[in-house]
Amino acid sequence: MKSKQLQDATRFITDRLSQTPEIGLILGSGLGELANEIESPINIKYEEIPGFPVSTVEGHAGQLVIGDLQGVSVIAMQGRFHYYEGYGLEAVTFPVRVMKALGVERLIVTNAAGGVNPDFEPGNLMLITDHINNTGQNPLIGPNDSEQGVRFPDMSTAYDRQLQRLAKQVANTIDLDLKEGVYVWNTGPCYETPAEINMLQAMGGDAVGMSTVPEVIVARHAGIEVLGISCISNMAAGILDQPLNHQEVIETTEKVRGDFLNFVKAILGKLA
């Protein structure tokens, strides 16, 4: 039995749709613009959907945009929910459960992240090859609903290998210098200390951010294939001798927005 909340949200959205979305898009800070390119869009504000949390962070719009992009039927989250905002992880990941219930089979997750790998530069795009959950939190803690997924989900290929291969081929075709690496999830909201970044480097992290991992865990639990892309918005603390701020994160993502949009659209074109 699906939870009543999930049923209500799914029904509310389905009633407004004429087709089943195939691909989910979660658009991170400064990357929500992609949803404005969706054709014949149906926009549903989060606050209208029963059971949906409401986004509070500046720079996050807060709506679902459903329609066609590059010939694919997509459902995009323009703005996501973060654990640091005070939502429980069930709320943070609820939209992924809804996407699954709507019929989504693949998910493209994006975020802005700090570059931990010293070879990166602000403005790089990074294919997420794997992640490290550095928080001690997990959205699957609690009773398992076996209709949604198994108690102990495999995470050995959290980021689908075939989708990674496709993303790399597309990057090649459009001459994009796509980096690759491991995304580390920290809760935030403060940025890391230089000592913490040293630790993340030693752990094998390449980028660090405050999102994505909960959604990916739930997507994998639900059997959704995942592709992850980080926009390296800044070098992580201590790598350059300068303080970090959210304005820089937004400004950098705005600068590479064009590259990012072209990249994701070209990937979608290949999935059509």
Rounded-to-integer distance, Cα 36 and Cα 75, Å = 12
CB of 191 to ligand HPA, least distance (A): 5
CB of 248 to ligand HPA, least distance (A): 8
Active site residue 87: no
Q: Which stretch binds ligand HPA (CB under 6 A): 96-104, 120-128, 148-156, 228-236?
A: 228-236
Active site residue 46: no
Q: Which of 234, 235, 236, 266 is the catalytic position?
A: 234
Binds ligand HPA by CB under 6 A, chosen from 24, 30, 114, 205:
114
Active site residue 90: no
Q: Which of 82, 91, 124, 266 is the catalytic position?
A: 82
Q: Which stretch binds ligand HPA (CB under 6 A): 36-44, 153-161, 163-171, 202-210?
A: 202-210
What mask, x for binding ligand HPA by CB under 6 A, covers residues 230 to 269? Answer: ---xx-x-------x----x--------------------
Task: Enumerate the active-site residues.
Answer: 29, 60, 82, 84-85, 112, 210-211, 234, 246
Write out the residues near ligand HPA by the rule CB under 6 A. Answer: 112-114, 186, 188, 191-192, 208-210, 233-234, 236, 244, 249
